[in-house]
Structure 1
């Protein structure tokens, strides 16, 4: 059984023993000193470092408690309002504990995500918190599982916020919200107002968040016995431009709808503006519903009916989960090890009724 499999953190002595060299030689190879090392020896040592997934001692000491704990917050887009509120929750909870926070962006690039997680692991962070939905692909599950085990072997922890849990027994914490139930509740609210032709803008095709919101909406249509029209579904980015362009395109095509279910409040704002520039009034002619309940929802005119997601609380819960786990490791004592654990926490959502949804006009 390997050191990682046994749940014990790999040390420089493990590397030296496996490579058949002294600890001093491993230190020289890893750049701790400028002492020259033969190329063949360097290659042998680095091969073992990769095999054991070894993290250098300076960073391992940080993970073991010799310094201020740091949490890395990684998100797709730092300007996303929902992401910002989760990050605020993480950072606020970290500050209360005297921890530091780092923020990075992945730009929806899996390779950059991989590079950032590896960089944070080498920096000895207490945890890496990944924010936002993920694309439901096999390689995603494989990559996240690798991240989680690599961080765990280095004494760190992976936390996924706002995305589904990983498959299998992976040492990661998931903090999610009841995404599908929120979409079901919002679609039910719109249908109960009498709407039957509804334009649905769930988000990017393939994104787990969008899949959940579309699934929740379709469940509501089934529950109300209302036929669901796939021709009134438009996938696209969670941004203002998509809301605007999707509504303009559907209107130009001559499709009839009396309500819009938008995947986010920002998409809803774009949809509202598109309706206004074509002479349609919200909610007199077309109702619009959002999702997220960011501050924008109560600042637009009319104020937006939306689904409240407890983003800041999700961030606080994520940090607490890491802090509790770290405290448990300290109480267990050095070298005690721990079994790989998967933890899944789910927070609730609810509809916030404001002014943008009302029954359709007679005859529509």
Structure 2
């Protein structure tokens, strides 16, 4: 394990200077010097002394947020809730985009650790890769060992505070709705199979299909509008009898509607998350609603809660099916 002396030597500064920067001393230093020391901390994976960190804790005014992509409407809504609570508590929010790269998430945890943030909220899905999930968990534990707090949104391996959206139940509601409309074969357009969110939502769809004697055919792509449009265009070309699509997020569903219009076809499409745009597309999108802003608010509240104990706290957030105009009974599809 790297020592303070190792960090000082790597950064080319005295041990006293490295200590002041790492422990948040009010004594002024140049930004260039601070950047060198923090870069050395990150590169050497130096874990500061927990006692020194606790002494400096009153100066921890920032919180870190790691999302997959803040330009994605899903994460934009969650981030709004995170920022709302952080701002109310006088905290600066540092937002990091991992772009669904677990290696980048680990780098960000180290950097946020080095910058002595008070808490880190990980708002992206967990990973099925056990090695990556285990290494990510190790980084989180190292941060917590120095007095930092962690909260996650979604299913992760880390056994800490968590806000869990009802992804499996939401998938079930979407599948049940399409089955009750008489659709016996449903095309599921899904995000990356490596994500726990994808797996959980698909599990709900399959549960509903099994109960109703229907069949689910799954195709994976990016959780994006373009990904949804490309998949749907191919599905419509390959299967003239297709009557229903379950998209595992609204961005993909919007792409599916675009492909449907291009092909001159009318099929039932249900989305997931109920983004604001779901009400404005044509036809208005039937979607599984998750209270995304509330997810962010709850997670940041857990992360900043000074009364938190050692026992992990888990908050479950329900899903709700919102019916609009994009789904029809199988025998009543518009011509």
TM-score tier (shorter)? 0.7 to 0.9
Segments of structure 2 that go 5 or more residues without pairing to the other structure are: 6-13, 22-26, 28-39
Q: Within 5 A, what are the aligned runs for 1:243-262?
A: 243-254=228-239, 256-262=241-247
Which residue, 176, 182, 194 being the options, matches 1:194? 182
* Residue aligning to 2:196: 208
Q: Secondary structure at the match of 1:291?
A: strand
Q: Within 5 A, what are the aligned runs for 1:6-25?
A: none
* Residue aligning to 2:30: none
Check if 1:264 corresponds to 2:249. yes
* Residue aligning to 1:153: 145
* Residue aligning to 2:16: 27
> TM-score scaled to structure 2, two decimals?
0.83
* Residue aligning to 1:77: 69
- Distance in 2 (CA, whole Å) between partners of 1:65 and 1:31 is 15
Deviation at 1:342, TM superposition (A): 2.7
* Residue aligning to 1:65: 58
Q: Secondary structure at the match of 1:244?
A: helix
> TM-score scaled to structure 1, two decimals?
0.77
* Residue aligning to 1:318: 299
* Residue aligning to 1:8: none
Instruction: State how many pairs are aligned.
Output: 308
Which residue, 317, 327, 332 being the options, matches 1:357? 327
User: Are the counterparts in 2 of residues 53 and 150 from structure 1 also a CA contact under 8 Å?
Assistant: yes
Q: Within 5 A, what are the aligned runs for 1:51-62?
A: 53-54=47-48, 61-62=55-56
Q: Within 5 A, what are the aligned runs for 1:100-139?
A: 100-139=92-131
Select the structure that is richer in strand.
2
- Distance in 2 (CA, whole Å) between partners of 1:141 and 1:109 is 12
- Distance in 1 (CA, whole Å) between partners of 2:194 and 2:241 is 26
| Structure 2 CA distance for partners of 1:28 and 1:99, relative to 1, 3 Å | closer
Check if 1:301 corresponds to 2:301. no
Which residue, 278, 283, 292 being the options, matches 2:263? 278
Deviation at 1:362, TM superposition (A): 6.0
- Distance in 2 (CA, whole Å) between partners of 1:29 and 1:99 is 25
- Distance in 2 (CA, whole Å) between partners of 1:362 and 1:153 is 59
- Distance in 1 (CA, whole Å) between partners of 2:333 and 2:170 is 29
Deviation at 1:138, TM superposition (A): 0.9
**Structure number, greater radius of gyration:** 1
- Distance in 1 (CA, whole Å) between partners of 2:240 and 2:137 is 44
